[in-house]
Structure 1
């Protein structure tokens, strides 16, 4: 199965690009979805997190208190490393299982941390959704109702724009908006279909 990793910084329009691929009938696996699945109530990972951070990390309904967890690990690199060590292998398994069940000619892994978390090892190509940083900040603040300072903090924690582009096999320029983005996705889709066909024959 030919696989493409789709990534981009916060506010880049990665989800919009993923939706365009879905509309073309392509199976998209969302790494954020996989990350939520592995910490659902009843899953071993959630128990381990509660044991490690204390019962206060759970909401009243038994689900993970994500905001609380984020604030605990954002400032503490050791705690973040502990959590990543627990979750990354589980998320990887969940992603692989979903990619392998893909009914379409190729599959897409949509992940904000594709490159940072080494999920890029699960794909054949990397496609980056890109736009200038000032536009990124503008769109992310408008979408999430976040302060610019908060968005810039998140951007600083993510891979830099140039580093991401250096790793890209394909780039979708999302500075002009959705109609333009959709056109670029359709062109890439044709290219990926050809690549997928070649991969099958080899």
Structure 2
């Protein structure tokens, strides 16, 4: 079984992904793939520096993602450029993983799954959602200020659209224990 896992930023996709991994699913996280590409893929790093300049470099090498985010989430053209560079590479990686895991249950976390029309790559699409205030609270706890959080949220489809398009939705406004119980129910439904 191949699950596409999506939802809004700060809604808990990665937590559900890790819970599914704990239950035996092979897990791929698109955000982690992006982090790896921006940290260690020489071709990607070179192209990003070529486009944005040396000031985008991180101290330890690779790209400083917080500097990059401040630029791209305030300028649609730079965001589109970055997505055109990263998204094909990210897709190649998770598709290759799915191919090697064909006989195993797999979950792929893709924040922009519906925005990029990727739902047909999966047997089921699960959307994790919460209230806007909960999103903002969670993002603030990660050091993302309200203005930047709202900019990132606005670059995704509204959560009501994502939940309507998903096969199954999980509301994550409660405790971790509540989310764990919902994930167990999800597994019961899928099996």
- TM (norm. structure 1) is 0.82
- Would you identify which runs of 4 or more consecutive aligned residues in structure 1 move more than 4 Å? none
- C-alpha distance in structure 2 between counterparts of 1:159 and 1:124, whole Å: 21
Q: Which residue of 1 aligns with 2:61?
A: 62
CA contact under 8 A between 1:5 and 1:111: conserved in structure 2?
yes
Structure number with larger C-alpha Rg: 1
Corresponding pairs, count: 191
Q: Which residue of 1 aligns with 2:158?
A: 160
2:49 is aligned with 1:50: yes
SS of 1:172's equivalent in the other structure is strand
SS of 2:40's equivalent in the other structure is coil
- TM (norm. structure 2) is 0.86
Q: Which residue of 2 aligns with 1:105?
A: 104
Q: Which residue of 2 aligns with 1:116?
A: 115
Change (3 A) 1:104 1:130: farther
In structure 2, runs of 5+ residues without a counterpart are: none
Q: Which residue of 1 aligns with 2:74?
A: 75
In structure 1, runs of 5+ residues without a counterpart are: 194-202
SS of 2:46's equivalent in the other structure is helix
Q: Which residue of 2 aligns with 1:24?
A: 23
- C-alpha distance in structure 1 between counterparts of 2:40 and 2:142, whole Å: 27
- C-alpha distance in structure 1 between counterparts of 2:134 and 2:58, whole Å: 35
1:69-88 deviation per Cα after TM superposition (whole angstroms, max 9, x unaligned): 22222222222222211111
- C-alpha distance in structure 2 between counterparts of 1:115 and 1:150, whole Å: 22
